[in-house]
Amino acid sequence: MLFNTTQFFLFLAVVLALFYGSPRRFRRYILLAASYFFYACWNPKFIALLLTLTAIDYTAALWLEKVAPGPRKKALLILSLSANLGFLGFFKYYNFLASNLALLLGKPTHSFFLDIVLPLGISFHTFQSMSYVVDVYRGQQKAVRSPIDYALFICFFPQLVAGPIVRAHTFFRDLFDWHPPSADDVSNGIFLLVLGLTKKMAFADQFAKVANRYFSDVAGNPGMVTAWSGVFAFGLQIYFDFSGYTDMAIGMAKLLGFHFPVNFRRPYLASSITDFWRRWHISLSTWLRDYLYIPLGGNRHGQWMTYRNLAITMLLGGLWHGASWNFVIWGGYHGALLGVERVFRGDRPIREEWTWLYPAKAILTFGLVLISWVFFRAADLPQSLQILGQMFSRPGGHTLLQPWHVGLALIALALAVVEEKFEWFERIIEAPAWAYASALAAMFLCLEVFGVIDASIPFIYFQF
Amino acid sequence: MHQKGRRRGLALPLACLGLFALDGLLFRTPFYPSILQPDSSAGTFELTLEREQQAQRLNGDNLVVTLGDSRFAYSPRLANELTAQTGYVFRHAGVAGTDVRSWYYMLRDLDPSARRYRAIVFGVTDYDDEDQFFTPDDDIRALHYVIARLRWSDVLEFALSFHSRKLQWEALRGASLKGIVYQNDILTFLSNPKKRIQYARAAHRDYDQWTYGYVETPRSLTGLQIDWKAWKVTFPPGLDQDQQDTINRDLMREPAPQTGRVAAYYRAWYGRILDRYRGSRTKIVFVRLARAPIPRPDGLVRKKSSTIRDFASSLPNVLLCDEHAFDSLEHPELFRDALHLNRAGIARFSPMLAEEIGRMLGSAGQ
């Protein structure tokens, strides 16, 4: 059940009606049942996996709270993390490791393959679950007593399959001290829901058609201009696709009285790669910072250790996205860029002020990010290299973008700049009803005219 | 807070109203239909309608309009060479790919008073109702042909005229928010607005000229043989893949179960047209066209009903042309594929049609 389908909106309407039509004590049960139903619509078999992981971490956290600090507690934490990483590793990385092992042994790559179906959203909910256990271990979070509450934290349907990765304190704060959403929350929720849908269907899916055309036949679309236009289209597709999904998730959560943090903050306006990672998939980058980079030592042990920690964090961050060398290279490339920036910047904080140099820096950053998307989207390493070869060849080829694609991109850029400088999204929610309604109507019209309605293009991050 | 909540509560319905207002402004006024891609389904339909509206102004009281799909291939130019003899001027408002549902909307706007024509001639390939695997009630192309003609009052009725729930929803959605149906057209327009506007202008100016003198291909199926007993077709040398495909698909098709859906569909849509012309001086004429280069055997399907014959026997202004009037055209050398007459076929059929209709209607002065 994709977010951009009629079935999903019917489901959401039923959930909202049941949620607000029921006595308060039943509401979390309704959300839990709805979430499991939502997950079961994909593949009911994986409900068992979800329940197993939930049971393991629920029990581990209760236990961790009782055990005094020391080796026993650490062993318990390791046990819980191993279980999570074990499931994640088996479902997501087994075939990757098996193919590499086969290569090492000189056997055909499929020699040790297993027919494994990747459970939907496993990367997201295992990270969410692990952060909870670590927080309990660190004493930053109390273990949750009710298995229902914990299960809801893991499988809450708006963010179950593609995030944002919500921290336990954020979720349980809203769950335990639940208030009906305010008028502003409802306005904001509806606005984000429509905005997300517009981003996905009118922008991401239109750019997806161009990107898919290019990446499905790179050899048949030669030339520098062709390559850049295909990669540019994918760059916009992935941003609108993922941030659109996230906007919808946050909007739905708001309608149910939950407040999730922002996951994207206009990343393509970033003035550096460091800045980019503060704006892109924020819930993952902060997770990696808090549960990987800082525990590895962060920047506390000298320059070289900092570079090492950055590299490890980004390589693993890359691998989190998918089991292929392309994702490792994608992460490594970003790690290397972050390292290079750090060499030039030293310990000085990043300056985000808008000066006359800012557009040049933003364009350079965008170009560097586009190059990284080649590894993210290409089928394999040889194709990535072929595309890079095209991108940096002599000028030739033709653009795959129609003038209206460029128009859409320019509109998005203008809106992003206005939002960056004036926070108009927030203002429009506060604005009189007619102004707010006009903004919604404009998005509806955009959906009507540009929305890809009948070809259901899945959200990119659902595969992770 | 409550007041603010109420104001907010108003915003969503207001936004929906705003959307419908914007959609109406863009797509329910003459603006967008005037720049439709001339070769698109909706564009061709609109150009045909406009062309025939203009023809009404230029012609007198002796107009006969024909409606059909691409199989109703005749040349009004050739038919009108006999005007002195028949007394009638023939105009063709048929659009390839359309069926009776689309013809209803065409006629509603072409002939609002239901009195403009001496006769409306429907070209069909069978007077009996034969269900095929693809039934016309689920032909969603109709939405794309008639989209510019649909009014608010049509939305529900039009949507419910489809059989499957999925298509009912698609039709409801598209008829309510026309931008969804026009989407591809809009995107191609935005790719090169200037070129589109120039092309649309040229089409609106010259469409009559482009179509009135149209000459069909001379390609034929000469040498085609079908052994119906052995269910075997022998293609003559030189037939291209498209020609062979149409023969395999349209002639050599297996009979479908006779469910009565086609009959219900015809009753509904021809019925609506005939209701409009009840008591009108306009005659409704059905013509059985040349069916195929080698027609399928009659006993292949046991047809259960004949809506057209039923109408003809019960309504005084409905006439049936002799079923076998054009059987002489059913030869491979007169067809370009399994369904369509070629240049020679059209050249023979057009005067035959004019004479036959003229004979049925009698003198134009009567």
- Could you read off the pLDDT of B323-348 as tens digits, one per residue? 999 999 999 999 999 999 999 999 99
Of B8, B16, B179, the CB nearest to A433: B8
The two structure tokens encoding residue B165: 């729930």
Q: Looking at chain B, which residue has its C-alpha nearest residue A435? A: B11
Reduce the DSSP state of residue A177 to 3 states and report it: coil
Dist CA A267 CA A41 (whole Å): 33
Number of CB atoms found within 10 A of residue B151's CB: 12
User: Which residue on chain A is closest to B170 by alpha carbon?
Assistant: A454
Which contiguous run of DSSP H or E holds residue B59?
A: none
Is residue A259 helix, strand or coil?
Answer: coil
Question: What ipTM goes with this model?
Answer: 0.82
Q: Quick one: what percent of chain A has pLDDT higher than 90?
A: 69
Option in A187, A441, A453 nearest B180 (CB): A453
Confidence at residue B204, expressed as pLDDT on a 0 to 100 scale? 94
Residue A366 pLDDT > 70, yes or no? yes
pLDDT of residue B366: 47
- Asked if residue A464 has pLDDT above 70, the reply is no
- Segments making up each domain of chain A, as ranges: 6-181, 184-463
How many A-B residue pairs are in contact by the CB < 8 A criterion?
78
* pLDDT per residue as tens digits for the range A64-100: 999 988 899 999 999 999 999 999 999 888 888 888 8
How far lies A282's CA from each of A54, A102, A180, B230, in Å? 24, 36, 27, 70
Strongest mean pLDDT among A229-238, B132-141, B244-253, B290-299: A229-238
**pLDDT at B3 > cutoff 70:** no
Query: If you average pLDDT over every residue of chain A, what do you get?
Result: 91
Query: Residues of B numbered 143-172 whose beta carbons fall under 8 angstroms of chain A's beta carbons: which are they?
Result: 169-170
Confidence of residue B298 (pLDDT cuts 50, 70, 90): confident
Provide the pLDDT for residue B45: 97
**Phi, psi at A61, each rounded to 5°:** -65, -45
Domains belonging to chain B, first-starting first, are 35-361 (3.40.50.1110)
Does residue B25 belong to the interface with chain A, where contact is any CB pair within 8 Å? Answer: no
Given a cut of 60, is residue B364 above it in pLDDT? no
Find, among B152, B113, B86, B169, the residue nearest to B362 by Cα.
Answer: B86
pLDDT > 80? residue A264? yes
Structure tokens at A129: 């679950």
Of A6, A433, A441, the CB nearest to B7: A433
- DSSP-H helix ranges across A147-182: 147-155, 168-176
Q: Is B209 left (phi over 0), alpha (psi -120 to 50) or beta?
A: alpha
- What integer pLDDT is reported at residue B2 of this predicted model? 58
Active site residue A321: yes
Contact A95, A118 (CB under 8 A): no
What is residue B44's predicted lDDT score, i.e. its pLDDT? 96
Whether the CB of A441 is below 8 Å from some CB of chain B: the reply is: yes
State what percent of residues in chain A have pLDDT above 70: 98
CA-CA distance, A267 to A373, in Å (whole number)? 14
What is the average pLDDT across B70-76?
A: 94
Catalytic residue among A321, A334, A398, A405: A321
Average the pLDDT over B276-301 and give the result.
92
Predicted confidence (pLDDT) at residue B4 exceeds the cutoff of 80 = no
